[in-house]
Amino acid sequence: MTTERGSGSSSGAPRRSGAALGAREVPDLNGFWTEDHFTAADGIHLGVAVSLRGGGLVAPTLHHADTLPLPQLMKTLKEMVNRARTGRLRGSEVSGAGITVTNLGDQGVESVFGVIHPPQVALVGFGRVVDRPWAVDGLLGVRPVVTATLSADHRATDGAVGARYLAVVARLLQTPEHL
């Protein structure tokens, strides 16, 4: 899918916004597998994978991420990443995510095949933005493109739902004015 350029946590905000809005449109991936059934999350609470400077990973939660305007999401994300890396996350930020996003593009990775954090049923991964030949309306040009991947628990969903989710995310990222 074509997308915006940039690196770091704030430039990944549009991708995270697309992931959150995609989860609102395809809610079957936003929730938990518990007691042998799927339970939908009570809102779009996006887990955000953050690498820690001393090693390790934490995935704090952006609550109601689908309702945050992009500038507010960028600000909140930057502040939350700083708190995560300094060990100062708030209690409300360490639980409740219904779907998690990982973005390794700022580390040069083009594709991410993530591991779901149970009891969540899905994780979406974004790689780095690269220039690729891309045809639009029959015209070939060079465009910025990002690879989005989805890991999902097949007890709760299937490939058709995953494909629908990724198609929604692609549409949203190709029209950033809707984020």
Q: Which residues are catalytic?
A: 154
Cα–Cα distance, 129 to 71 (Å, whole number):
21
The distance from CA 18 to its chain's CA centroid, rounded to whole angstroms, is 7
Q: Is 17 helix (H, G, I), strand (E, B) or coil?
A: helix
Q: Is 97 exposed, middle or buried (0-12, 13-18, 19+ CB in 10 A)?
A: buried
What is the C-alpha radius of gyration for the chain, rounded to an integer number of angstroms? 16
